[in-house]
Amino acid sequence: MLVTTKKMLNDAREGGYAVGAFNAENAEMVWAIVKAAEELKAPVIIQTTSSTLKYFSPAYFAALAKAAAESVSVPVAIHLDHGASFELAKQCIDSGYTSVMIDGSALPYEENIRVTQKVRDYADNFGIPVESELGKVGGKEDDTESDGNEYTDPDQAADFANRTGISSLAVAIGTAHGIYAKKPVLDFNRATLIKKVVPIPLVLHGASGLSDDALREGVEKGMSKINFATELRIAFTDAIKAHMAEHPNDFDPKKYLNPARIAVKELVKAKIQVCGSVGKA
């Protein structure tokens, strides 16, 4: 069933677990994400980034997510990840997305508040929850790029959440998008401090490549939503490469895409288990 992220993330915050949020690039990955969630009876979030929505439109992914959600019994949300503008967030809401993120973290503080309020005001007309980001998550993923980390300040986070009225907050504690070149220095205690003064679910970006122990600590210290993207793309592509290496003459896409979607499904299941959301549907 297709739902918004508001209840599932509030339940996760109260229950001490996290909901896995997984970036999809195509129908196969949407299938993999919802099938994994169904097998583990877990709530799940399908995400698309701004660059993915240049490849296929929000309406395309909203329709895919709706069809996928209707095929399973667990709660499924479709979320805009790192929305680059009010216009894109509006387009996603109008197309049927059940959650959006507006990422103004690269803007000056007051401008971040202004654009976040604008998106929230529009989303409120449709009962759609809004995620925003404060601080800067390093690295590069699609159109999102930062040359370093700017850790989220707890007091500023409290002010930001209060003034914007958002439903969830992505915080910077030392993670980075993409592949880690070296072991990150993570400040999970900062997440605990933020959770004490921010009464909404916290979101961890840049989780691909983190150890299971680090992810579990993130959940323990207050993360209610954890985003995964790069690892899924790698699993999908590696499975295709392996199939074609063994069957170089295959030309039917179903032959090489099926192993890819199965690989993503198994990876999603593993991440759901680490998030602690098995059986929480």
Annotated binding residue 135: no
- With respect to residue 131, please indicate whether it lies within any of the assigned structural domains: yes
Helix (H, G, I), strand (E, B) or coil at 268: helix
Annotated binding residue 79: no
How far apart CA 75 and CA 37 sit, in angstroms, is 9
- With respect to residue 133, please indicate whether it lies within any of the assigned structural domains: yes
- With respect to residue 281, please indicate whether it lies within any of the assigned structural domains: no
Annotated binding residue 37: no
Torsion, CA 173, CA 174, CA 177, CA 181, rounded to 10:
-170
**What pLDDT, on a 0 to 100 scale, did the predictor assign at position 138?**
46
How far apart CA 139 and CA 73 sit, in angstroms, is 36
* Per-residue tokens: 277: 């959301």
Residue 152 structural domain: 5-275
How far apart CA 122 and CA 88 sit, in angstroms, is 12
User: What CATH number does the domain containing 234 carry?
Assistant: 3.20.20.70
* Other CB atoms within 10 A of residue 1 CB: 12
**What pLDDT, on a 0 to 100 scale, did the predictor assign at position 137?**
58
How far apart CA 74 and CA 12 sit, in angstroms, is 15
The count of domains in the chain is 1
**What pLDDT, on a 0 to 100 scale, did the predictor assign at position 180?**
45
Q: At what angle do helices 230-246 and 27-40 cross, to 10 degrees?
A: 110
Annotated binding residue 188: no
Which DSSP letter does residue 97 get? -
Catalytic machinery residues: 81
How far apart CA 59 and CA 270 sit, in angstroms, is 29
What's the average pLDDT block by block, 10 residues per block, for the chain (281 residues)?
Answer: 97 98 97 98 97 95 96 97 96 98 93 97 98 71 53 94 97 69 74 95 88 93 95 97 98 97 98 98 95
Annotated binding residue 279: no
* Per-residue tokens: 179: 């592949």
- With respect to residue 280, please indicate whether it lies within any of the assigned structural domains: no
